[in-house]
Amino acid sequence: MKLGVFSLSMSVKNLQLSKEFYEKLGFEVTGGGMDKNYLIMKNELTVIGLFHGMFEGQMLTFNPGWDANAQKVDPFDDVRTIQKELKQKGVTLVTEADETTAGPASLILKDPDGNIILIDQHR
């Protein structure tokens, strides 16, 4: 199962302050925007997402079809294929991708400790 690039998605109270803090750690903005209420930041191969007002807490995030530079990777496992495999393995999903569609879609699951995992396909 190819889950794609990994990042940590974090809910932040103040996007500007969080941006400035992570810039001090060497992260640079590579996506999103202040006007969109989220920033994607990168330090070498480490990717984080800072999100204001979109969700609570933190999420492990995987993006099928993308590499760490948000470039297309082929071949890749479509999120609906991943979903079918997870269901076959008995994994309970919190939200599901519509299996009658193609292209961008997502699903959410939780690990045994309640940590949220987002599999978010953008292409």
The pLDDT tens digits for 48-106 are 999 999 999 999 999 999 988 888 999 999 999 999 999 999 999 999 999 999 999 99
**pLDDT tens-digit map of 22-56:** 999 999 999 999 999 999 999 999 999 999 999 99
Residue spans of the domains in the chain: they are 1-74, 78-116
The DSSP call for residue 76 is -
Residue in 42, 86, 13, 43 with CA at minimum distance from that of residue 106: 86
pTM: 0.88
